[in-house]
Structure 1
């Protein structure tokens, strides 16, 4: 990740537990109906749930949206998961 990518904004906006909108998305590494692994400018982000589907993915503006029943999301550093709330403190 270069310095330019680190200066970009990264936001996570949830609507209840039914959808999440992300900015600063570099790529979607893998996904299925229960888990997405997304590389963002702030690191890799896992989104877990049921019935998950990609609603929107814009590679130019680095935005993504996921719908479904979201049960968890966490940033993953060196193979271990850290919850969003622990990482943000």
Structure 2
């Protein structure tokens, strides 16, 4: 059986490494002055830096505005991780 995934819109705009606007946000999982973890339509997104702040959050629109000194942005695929764990459990309990 073939799985079809529908890609939803997600956009990341960073201005001068000081401000950022993110769309396609499902949830803000955690945040502090050095790290913000977002769940987006394209997977988990981690923003690292210093003096980071969530200025605006609109869950209805799926938008987040961030500010601070942005050092890095990294993505990880939630579905791939969940599928790996599912395969591990299915192998253990056969």
- CA deviation after TM superposition for structure 1 residue 76, in Å: 2.0
- CA deviation after TM superposition for structure 1 residue 25, in Å: 0.1
Aligned length: 74
Q: Identify the structure with the greater strand proportion.
A: 1
| Contact 2:8–2:42, Cα closer than 8 Å, also in 1 | no
- CA deviation after TM superposition for structure 1 residue 68, in Å: 0.2
Q: Identify the structure with the greater helix proportion.
A: 2
State which drifts further: 6-15 or 34-43: 6-15
Structure 1 unpaired stretches of 5+: 79-89
Structure 2 matches for 1:1-89, cutoff 5 A? 6-77=6-77, 78=81
Structure 1 segments, 4+ long, off by >4 Å, are none
- CA deviation after TM superposition for structure 1 residue 7, in Å: 3.9
TM, length-normalised to structure 2: 0.74
TM, length-normalised to structure 1: 0.78
**Aligned alpha-carbon RMSD (Å):** 1.2
> Max radius of gyration: which structure?
2
